[in-house]
A and B are shown apart, each in its own frame.
Chain A
């Protein structure tokens, strides 16, 4: 069985600083999204539970992936497809889905495609849905429990009012929620071995896509501005022993007029 996991690298959100409402991304390291790690963890678990599973990571992003890809490979992926051609840079969600779909088709075989329920930075959830449509796959989103058996997938998904248990025949696409698992931290030896696992780097030509069909040339959404909301806090840390801190807190809240009664 062939399991495909789609992953992307994002700037480490905790390290983004805001200056004059602009996000400062210089020197912010790229990391795999949390939900992407849940996706690769789930694929690795399936590999451990079911015989003859091959896990392929398909990752679109900058050339920094070359280094970063060791992590999912060490977490259990057998192979990686890297889509780092500069022509793909700046792809929006629909553009990303298009490139991923072509790359997944090119891998030759896919029984189960797994993604996070959203990317950790934008959490828009568009890529998975568009990808399911392009590959014409049944889709189950927001999955918190997953079982793969006898050519079928059974999943519990987390909806507003209920947990839905859903079933589909493979091939299928699922998106996973954060609570589905606890991603493993790859061991040092696994990371060393990961360097030897096969990698493919495919550009637009390999995927049969023209340069004007991808990346910045194929945007369907335009971002007009992207600024941080204004934030103005007092940042007072109360000093003294606990009793003094509590007195000061209650005093302050009373003066602010927020201790109603």
Chain B
């Protein structure tokens, strides 16, 4: 019987995949297993069983202390090849995504990364992912005997859990010390925002040139009960916001009732994160900005004029 093997460096994502994997396994006549790797791995077994894993491969090998892509790829290769694993599903976190190509190469397998939907099709798993920068959605299947797919976090919901036991395989892995060392880790300031759930979302872009101007945006957000998100530059380059607030292809996918873009040109890598909004409002001083193509109601103007005026009006209501 073929096996679907799940791994993610993020246990929450892994459990989502175990839940989904269980349903796929039923359709495919397969079983679901998961790999628990690194310090403290063994202690997580109950959780994984309770969401539906039939079998767990566990290793706390010292080489798996800090995540290094090559070492984790070698570990997964050995687990896959020791059993009957046909599908390796990896959580598409940053580590998971870099892992997918590396382990696929070790397995002579094809790989699909950043899948955002998946279904069974003709005995295979079909995955959807964005293509052409987000202009289109490609539906793909891996055609090699072993198949690697990395799946975006939150693609699937956690299924029901029930106390259950299964088979634990303590794998004896042959691993070398990682050739890349983590010499320091600088934690990012935690930002517990959940933009995916926001009913009203305002995003700021590179058109907002001064951090002081965020005050008027925050005022607007307060008046609308909105969360604030951003395009790539304000998060990655200017560090005005944590990347938890970046919206788009490599950020969050949001579906608010009302989305307002402020100083955003509307490049596809951003708009892909907001196309599911009910109503889209755009404030941009360039009437030719592509953002207006995605817009229901647009104002051509300088946000520094428009936003304060809008705030005044909302306050007067």
Given A123-B249, A127-B101, A245-B299, A258 contacting B258 (CB threshold 8 A): yes
Is A49 an interface residue when CB atoms closer than 8 A count as contact? Answer: no
Q: Is the CB of B139 within 8 A of A260?
A: no
Q: Is the CB of A221 within 8 A of B111?
A: yes
Question: Which B residues are in CB contact (< 8 Å) with A177?
Answer: 236
Q: Which of A126, A246, A252 contacts B100 (CB 8 A)?
A: A126
Q: How many residues of A contact B (CB 8 A)?
A: 82
Chain A residues with Cβ under 8 A from B105's Cβ? 94, 97, 129-130, 133-134
Contact call A233/B142, Cβ cutoff below 8 A: no
Chain A residues lying within 8 Å of B241, measured Cβ to Cβ, are none
Give every chain B residue within 8 A of A121 (Cβ-Cβ).
131-133
- B227 interfacial by beta-carbon distance below 8 Å: no
A residues 1-57 touching B (CB-CB < 8 Å): 11, 13-14, 16, 18, 23
Whether A226 lies near B137 (C-beta < 8 A) is: yes
Which residues of B sit under 8 angstroms from A245, Cβ to Cβ?
299, 301, 306
Interface positions, chain B 28-70, Cβ under 8 Å from A, are: 69-70
Q: A130-B104, A238-B298 are in contact. Are A165 and B180 (CB under 8 A)?
A: no
- Give the residues from 113 to 172 in chain A that come closer than 8 angstroms, CB to CB, to chain B: 120-130, 132-134, 138-142, 144, 154, 158-169, 172
Judge whether A235 is part of the interface by a CB distance below 8 angstroms.
Answer: yes
Tell yes or no: B193 within 8 A of A by CB.
no
CB distance from A80 to the nearest CB of B (A): 25
Q: Does B120 contact A (CB under 8 A)?
A: no
- List of B residues within 8 angstroms of A162 by Cβ: 185-188
Residues of the A chain whose Cβ atoms lie less than 8 Å from the Cβ of B180: 138-140, 166-168, 172
B97 at the binding interface (Cβ < 8 Å): yes
**Once the chains bind, are B185 and A129 in contact (CB under 8 Å)?**
no
Do A159 and B95 touch (CB < 8 A)? yes
Contact B275 A253, beta carbon cutoff 8 Å: no
> What residues of chain A lie closer than 8 Å to B142, measured between beta carbons?
220-222
Q: Provide the bound-state CA to CA distance between A154 and B310, in Å.
A: 48
Q: Please pick, from B112, B129, B279, the residue contacting A256 in the complex, using a CB distance under 8 A.
A: B279
Q: Give CA–CA (A107, B104) in the complex, Å.
A: 25
Name which of B18-26, B205-213, B285-293 contacts chain A. B285-293
How many inter-chain contacts with C-beta < 8 Å in the A-B complex?
A: 258
Assess the A93–B111 pair: CB atoms within 8 A.
Answer: yes
Q: Which residues 223-255 in A have Cβ within 8 Å of B in the complex?
A: 223-229, 231, 233-238, 242-243, 245-250, 252-253
Of A23, A220, A227, the contact of B110 (CB 8 Å cutoff)? A220
Q: Tell me whether A258 and B275 are in contact in the complex, defined as CB-CB below 8 angstroms, given that A124-B114, A167-B183, A177-B236 are known contacts.
A: no
Q: How far does the Cβ of A97 sit from chain B's closest Cβ, in whole Å?
A: 7
Given A23-B136, A97-B105, A129-B100, verify A219-B143 contact (CB < 8 Å): yes
User: Is there a chain B Cβ closer than 8 Å to A178's Cβ?
Assistant: yes
Q: Give how many B residues have a beta carbon under 8 Å from the other chain's beta carbons.
A: 87
Q: Identify which of residues 178-194 in chain B touch chain A, using a CB-to-CB cut-off of 8 Å.
A: 178-188
List the B side residues contacting A141 at CB < 8 Å. 69, 94, 98
Q: Does B3 contact A (CB under 8 A)?
A: no
The answer to whether A253 touches B111, judged by C-beta atoms less than 8 angstroms apart, is: no
User: Which of B184, B296, B301 lies in contact with A234, CB distance below 8 A?
Assistant: B296
How far is B182's CA from A163's CA once the two chains are assembled, in angstroms? 10
Flag if B139 contacts A224 (CB, 8 Å): yes
Main secondary structure of the interface of A (DSSP, over half): mixed
Determine if B101 and A128 form an interchain contact, defined as CB atoms under 8 angstroms apart. yes
Q: Is the CB of B236 within 8 A of A165?
A: no
- Say whether B132 contacts A11, CB under 8 Å: yes
Give Cα A257–Cα B257 distance, bound, in whole angstroms.
9
**B279:A231 contact, CB within 8 angstroms:** no
In the complex, per-residue mask of A192-224: 1 if CB is within 8 Å of any chain B CB, else 0 = 000000000000000000000000000111111
B301 touches A161 (CB 8 A): no
A140 to B292, CA, bound (A): 39
The answer to whether A246 touches B306 (Cβ under 8 A) is: yes
Is B313 a contact partner of A246 (Cβ separation < 8 A)? Answer: yes
A259 within 8 A of B: yes
**Distance of A169 from chain B, by nearest CB (Å):** 7
A261 at the binding interface (Cβ < 8 Å): yes
Residues from chain B with Cβ under 8 Å of A229 in the complex: 136-137, 275
From B314, which residue of chain A is reached at the shortest CB distance? A250
How far is it, in angstroms, between the C-alpha of A11 and the C-alpha of B98 when the chains are bound?
Answer: 24
Within 8 Å CB of B165, what residues of A? none
Contact B309 A242 (CB under 8 A): yes
Chain B nearest Cβ from A151, distance in angstroms: 13
User: Inside 8 A of A127's CB, which chain B residues have their CB?
Assistant: 101
Q: State how many angstroms separate the Cβ of B304 from the closest Cβ of chain A.
A: 12
Q: Residue A92 at the B interface, CB < 8 A?
A: yes
Does residue B317 face the partner (Cβ distance < 8 Å to A)?
yes
Bound state CA distance, A252 and B167, in angstroms? 59
- Could you list 8 examples of A-B contacts with CB < 8 Å? A11-B132, A122-B129, A123-B130, A133-B106, A159-B94, A161-B188, A246-B306, A246-B313
Q: A residues within 8 Å of B by Cβ?
A: 11, 13-14, 16, 18, 23, 92-94, 97, 120-130, 132-134, 138-142, 144, 154, 158-169, 172, 175, 177-179, 219-229, 231, 233-238, 242-243, 245-250, 252-253, 256-261
Extra A-B contacts (11), CB below 8 Å, given A165-B185, A221-B141, A233-B280: A139-B98, A159-B95, A162-B185, A220-B109, A221-B110, A221-B143, A226-B132, A237-B298, A248-B297, A256-B279, A260-B224
